[in-house]
Each structure stands twice: as structure tokens, then as C-alpha cells.
């Protein structure tokens, strides 16, 4: 059941020193490309990076929250052609979620690293850094880097008790929804 994947998924930031097999990389890419998109415009552009030196450069996109990427054997940089859709952020976010869940289904660990709207230092943005490293054309914007690898950390799954059911409303805002 799909919900089982959701129940055990966690953000994994430590990876075994083991490459991700080509079939699994293909699965992640396929999962991303099946994502729904507004008006079926499919504005995404994905950059699949396995070269260690390049991954190390991606890990330097932000002063915090991205350094762990250096330990990942695979990074998928989720971008989009901003000229193809005015809702590319939504489209690219859905594709990113698909990659996270496909990774979980393939016994891989993954973590989303936010690039869009994040700064690198006082003068440059995380996106400018990625843009330079990957030589992206101007029309292509970066949403996130998804780091992927075989998990080298064990994380307790979230429990149903942690879920914010208080933020689910019944018919009208403020009227608590109760589980059937």
C-alpha cells in the first residue's frame, strides 16, 4: 500500500559508500517524469549527478543544510523551464516528492535540499551557485537538490500520534474533523 511508504519515509542524510545501481536511478527518473503537471506542460528539467567532485560542489550551495550532500553517491537537481509554465514551482515540487517516495520504495534514502529562495552567503544565492556549477541556461530555475543513497542511519518512522489532525477541518474552518 502506498501509505506504507509514507509511513516509513524519513529524510536520510547519511549514506553508505555504495553507488546507486543504474536500474534504480532509472526508476527515480521515471517516477519523476510520471508526475502530474499543470496543463501537462511538464516544465521540469532534471540533472542527474553521480560525479563525486560535482556532488561536492553542489553540497556547497548553502552555508547550512546542504553540506551532507557531499556524502551522497547521487544527486538529482530538480529544475524547471520558467518560460514553459507559470506554476513551475508546484510542478517541480510534485516531481521532487515523487523522487523521494520512489527512493523509499527502492530501499534508498533521500533528502530534499531547498535551493530556490535560499542564500549562499551575503552576496550570492544558492541558485546562482548551482547555476554556475551546472551551467544552466537563464530560463531554467532551480528548485531543489535531492540527495540519494543507501541509508547509513536509522530513523524512527513518524507515528500517527504526531500527525497534525488539529489542522484538518470538517466542512468549515475551525470545526474539528474527527476520524471516522
Ligand X SMILES: Cc1cc2nc3c(=O)[nH]c(=O)nc-3n(C[C@H](O)[C@H](O)[C@H](O)COP(=O)(O)O)c2cc1C
Strands 140-149 and 109-114: antiparallel
* 94, 99, 112, 171 from 78: Cα distances, Å: 10, 10, 10, 36
- Tell whether residue 114 is a contact of ligand X (CB under 6 A): yes
Rounded to whole angstroms, how far apart are CA atoms 56 and 49?
10
- Tell whether residue 119 is a contact of ligand X (CB under 6 A): no
- Tell whether residue 11 is a contact of ligand X (CB under 6 A): yes
Binding mask 73-92 for ligand X (x = CB under 6 A): --------------------
Q: How far is the CB of 180 from ligand X (least distance, A)?
A: 25
The 3-state DSSP class for residue 159 equals: coil
Rounded to whole angstroms, how far apart are CA atoms 59 and 119?
13
Closer of 13 and 131 to ligand X (Cβ): 13
- Tell whether residue 67 is a contact of ligand X (CB under 6 A): no
Q: Which residue has the cell 517516477?
A: 31
Q: How far is the CB of 45 from ligand X (least distance, A)?
A: 18
- Tell whether residue 59 is a contact of ligand X (CB under 6 A): no
- Tell whether residue 108 is a contact of ligand X (CB under 6 A): no
> Per CB under 6 A, which of residues 12..41 are in contact with ligand X?
13
| Burial call 108-120: b when 16+ CB within 10 Å, e when fewer | bbbbbbbbbebeb
Write out the residues near ligand X by the rule CB under 6 A: 10-11, 13, 65, 111-114, 158
Amino acid at each position: 500500500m502506498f501509505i506504507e511508504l509514507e509511513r516509513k519515509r524519513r529524510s536520510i542524510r547519511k549514506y553508505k559508500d555504495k553507488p546507486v545501481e543504474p536500474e534504480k536511478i532509472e526508476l527515480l527518473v521515471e517516477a519523476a517524469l510520471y508526475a502530474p503537471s499543470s496543463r501537462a506542460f511538464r516544465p521540469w528539467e532534471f540533472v542527474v549527478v553521480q560525479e563525486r567532485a560535482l556532488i561536492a560542489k553542489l553540497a556547497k550551495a548553502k552555508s547550512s543544510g546542504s553540506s551532507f550532500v557531499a556524502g551522497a553517491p547521487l544527486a538529482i537537481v530538480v529544475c524547471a523551464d520558467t518560460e514553459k509554465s507559470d506554476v513551475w514551482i508546484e510542478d517541480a515540487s510534485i516531481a521532487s516528492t515523487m523522487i523521494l517516495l520512489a527512493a523509499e520504495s527502492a530501499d534508498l534514502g533521500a533528502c530534499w535540499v531547498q535551493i530556490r529562495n535560499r542564500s549562499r552567503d551575503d552576496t550570492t544565492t544558492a541558485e546562482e551557485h548551482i547555476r554556475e556549477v551546472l551551467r544552466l541556461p537563464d530560463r531554467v530555475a532551480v528548485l531543489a537538490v535531492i540527495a540519494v543513497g543507501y541509508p547509513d542511519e536509522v530513523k524512527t518512522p513518524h507515528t500517527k500520534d504526531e500527525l497534525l489532525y488539529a489542522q484538518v477541518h470538517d466542512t468549515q474552518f475551525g470545526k474539528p474533523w474527527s476520524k471516522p
